[in-house]
């Protein structure tokens, strides 16, 4: 999440992944104020206009929060409240409104008092790691941006080199220019470029991009050990031990290691883990939880407010709390295990 402190009560924010929306769900409370862009239907005041019709326009408002909830679509938050300010004179102050918070859309959050947990969630040190993943071969290239545990993929790029009739016509630098253009459109400040795939094409692409002004200032690493390209290559890399070695300090590597450690304990019948909500809550109350990982699945069978309260209690006890989504394999695995798992400091009795 991109954050900028305006003053003691005001923070400007841009959520970058689903985890950031979960964080906002945990800190935004009734009585807070949100400033952001939204849409609203404005009744037409024209001759012959139908009284039941209106025009939906984009406006900027300040909304005094009354209720917040995770939308049916996981990568959105629904905030309900009353409008205190607006940049459109047709919008009545004090009227009720529902605003949707989405990934990539900026907002300003104003709180009278920030408690310690809220400050930690917003201003605390985050796991480093936003990466542009490039899985390339002479035939195709897959590009994905990994932020935390959220993966956004571009459509595959194809070189046209497959088949005997292309052998004399194919120019790999033309293909590299297409890859360069796509990476330039997707890359953001501080992203590191990770290139992998079969053969020597990845090294040639690495050298090509290193000389490109459009990615100047970004670190570029060429990784061995992944023998597939395109979208399949991206997913292969994210599931691999190569990823955990290459992106050691990234959030996805840490979460993958936690899950692997739990699976190892399951096989060895070591009772220092939990799976599922009730079991994890019990362990947290006993002060046994060291780290936990949850997915959106946890909200399907549990009261949302209870889940948020539990996560904040765990954070208050010093637990490392990680959220994942279904864009990566690790998120799907957490969902299949009840939506939440944890590593324990010590075993607890059943």
Q: Are residues 51 and 65 in the same domain?
A: yes
Q: Which residue has the higher pLDDT, 72 or 289?
A: 289
Does the predicted model carry a pTM greater than 0.85? no
Q: Are residues 187 and 213 in the same domain?
A: yes
Whether residue 350 contacts residue 320, with contact meaning beta carbons closer than 8 Å, is answered with: no
Whether residue 16 has pLDDT greater than 90: no
Q: Which of the listed residues 198, 215, 246 is the one where a domain comes to its end?
A: 246
Section 321-345 average pLDDT: 91
pLDDT at 57: 81
Whether residue 294 has pLDDT greater than 70: yes
- What lies within 8 Å, CB to CB, of 114 at 6+ separation is 9, 122
Q: Which of the listed residues 60, 91, 123 is the one where a domain comes to its end?
A: 123
Q: Are residues 8 and 77 in the same domain?
A: yes
pLDDT at 160: 80
CATH, residue 239: 3.30.420.60
Please indicate, yes or no, if residue 10 is contained in any of the structural domains: yes
Pairing of strands 140-147, 157-158: antiparallel
Q: Which of the listed residues 246, 264, 296 is the one where a domain comes to its end?
A: 246
Whether residue 281 contacts residue 310, with contact meaning beta carbons closer than 8 Å, is answered with: yes
pLDDT at 275: 95
Question: Domain of 85?
Answer: 2-123
pLDDT at 50: 52
pLDDT in tens, 51-110: 555 677 888 989 999 999 987 656 789 999 999 998 887 788 888 999 999 988 999 999
Q: Are residues 112 and 203 in the same domain?
A: no
Please indicate, yes or no, if residue 140 is contained in any of the structural domains: yes
Please indicate, yes or no, if residue 47 is contained in any of the structural domains: yes
Q: Which residue has the higher pLDDT, 240 or 41?
A: 240
CATH, residue 20: 2.30.30.870
At residue 335, φ and ψ (nearest 5 deg) are -60, -40
Whether residue 128 contacts residue 249, with contact meaning beta carbons closer than 8 Å, is answered with: yes
Helices 277-285 and 304-316: angle between axes, nearest 10 degrees? 30
Q: Distances from the Cα of 148 to the Cαs of 50, 119, 129, 137, 238, in angstroms? A: 49, 20, 7, 26, 12
- What lies within 8 Å, CB to CB, of 121 at 6+ separation is 23, 26, 27, 315
Q: Are residues 136 and 236 in the same domain?
A: yes
pLDDT in tens, 221-269: 999 999 999 999 999 999 999 999 998 888 899 999 999 999 999 999 9
Q: How many domains does the chain have?
A: 3
Per cent of the chain over pLDDT 70 is 91
pLDDT at 72: 66
Whether residue 219 contacts residue 193, with contact meaning beta carbons closer than 8 Å, is answered with: yes
Residue 44: pLDDT band with limits 50, 70, 90? low
pLDDT in tens, 116-174: 899 988 887 665 568 999 999 999 999 999 988 888 899 999 988 755 444 456 678 89
Q: Are residues 85 and 100 in the same domain?
A: yes
pLDDT at 123: 83
Whether residue 82 contacts residue 64, with contact meaning beta carbons closer than 8 Å, is answered with: yes
Please indicate, yes or no, if residue 106 is contained in any of the structural domains: yes
pLDDT at 215: 81
Please indicate, yes or no, if residue 350 is contained in any of the structural domains: no
């Amino acid at each position: 999440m991109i954050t900028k402190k305006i003053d003691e009560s005001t923070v400007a924010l841009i959520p970058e992944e689903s985890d950031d929306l979960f964080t906002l769900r945990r800190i935004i409370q009734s009585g807070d104020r949100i400033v952001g862009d939204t849409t609203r239907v404005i009744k037409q005041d024209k001759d012959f206009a139908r009284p039941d019709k209106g025009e939906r326009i984009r406006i900027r408002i300040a909304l005094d929060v009354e209720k917040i909830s995770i939308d049916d679509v996981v990568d959105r938050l629904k905030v309900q409240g009353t409008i205190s300010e607006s940049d459109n004179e047709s919008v009545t102050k004090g009227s009720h409104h529902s605003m949707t918070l989405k990934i990539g859309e900026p907002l300003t959050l104003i709180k009278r008092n920030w408690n310690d947990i809220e400050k930690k969630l917003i201003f605390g040190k985050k796991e480093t790691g936003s990466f542009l993943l490039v899985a390339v071969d002479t035939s195709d290239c897959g590009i994905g941006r990994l932020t935390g545990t959220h993966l956004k993929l571009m459509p595959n790029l194809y070189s046209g080199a497959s088949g005997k009739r292309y052998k004399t016509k194919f120019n790999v630098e033309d293909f590299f220019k297409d890859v360069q253009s796509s990476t330039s459109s997707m890359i953001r400040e501080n992203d590191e470029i990770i290139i992998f795939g079969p053969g020597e094409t990845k090294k040639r692409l690495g050298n090509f991009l290193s000389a490109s002004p459009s990615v100047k200032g970004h670190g570029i690493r060429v990784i061995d050990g992944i023998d597939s390209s395109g979208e399949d290559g991206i997913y292969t890399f994210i599931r691999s031990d190569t990823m955990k070695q290459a992106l050691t300090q990234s959030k996805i590597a840490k979460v993958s290691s936690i899950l692997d450690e739990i699976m190892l304990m399951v096989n060895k019948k070591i009772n220092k883990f939990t799976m599922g909500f009730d079991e994890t809550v019990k362990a947290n109350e006993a002060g046994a939880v060291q780290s936990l990982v949850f997915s959106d699945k946890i909200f399907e069978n549990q009261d949302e407010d209870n889940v948020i309260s539990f996560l904040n209690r765990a954070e208050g006890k010093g637990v490392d709390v990680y959220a994942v989504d279904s864009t990566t394999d690790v998120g799907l695995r957490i969902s299949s295990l009840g939506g939440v798992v944890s590593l324990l400091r010590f075993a607890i009795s059943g």
